A and B are shown apart, each in its own frame.
Chain A
């Protein structure tokens, strides 16, 4: 079955450590996205990528980094510079259309807790 996988489902880290969240898709989508979700604040865009080897900052990129070396993969690193990293992280992908973005397909999410 085609879809997006995120691993792990739950992740625990100590403050000051970098941590990398995995996102893989087998939908053959060009575009991929990372969102952060906090209670009552909806989704906030961290980074997105329209093609391999290219990505752009979203609304809250500070303290995060990404890479897009393969079409299927878009890992997110939460660095020690991120002030409040505890959150639910969602990865998404979409077909890239000339007229603008199509609907996005979401993974199951990773809940990161930093203590």
Chain B
């Protein structure tokens, strides 16, 4: 069935470090892909999305490229800030009625 696998957390970085959170997926067809962010005690917010192969989603300095050949959608940011500390979820829309979410990766950025 359709599934999303994210790198295990937690991830701890120093401010201004480079961030990569890996996400791979299994799905038939051509799903849309999403990254969501959840700050402590809050709901999820859409961070970025890509709807077809080779699309690059970007927002707030974060980027992710839809790689169909490697079935991946890795999240990257060149220089993280303390305010980026949150839990990040990768998700896919496989064409059915539901989204499929990864388990989430907790990021902590230290000053």
Residues of A whose CB lies within 8 Å of any CB of B are: 4, 6, 31, 33, 40-43, 45, 48, 50, 56, 58, 90, 92, 99-109, 111
Centre residue among B36, B45, B89, B98 by max chain A CB count within 10 A: B98
B94 to chain A minimum Cβ distance, whole angstroms, is 7
Interface of A is mostly: strand
Please report the C-alpha to C-alpha distance between residue A90 and residue B101 in the assembled complex, in whole angstroms: 14
Residues of B whose CB lies within 8 Å of any CB of A are: 31-32, 34, 36, 41-46, 49, 89, 93-99, 101-104
Chain B residues contacting A99 (CB-CB under 8 Å) are: 95
Question: B43–A100 contact, CB under 8 A?
Answer: no
Question: A41–B42 contact, CB under 8 A?
Answer: no
Cβ contacts A to B, 13 pairs, < 8 Å? A6-B43, A40-B103, A42-B89, A42-B103, A43-B44, A90-B44, A100-B32, A100-B95, A101-B97, A103-B32, A103-B49, A103-B93, A109-B41
- Closest 7 A/B residue pairs (Cβ): A106-B43, A42-B103, A100-B95, A106-B44, A43-B101, A101-B93, A108-B43
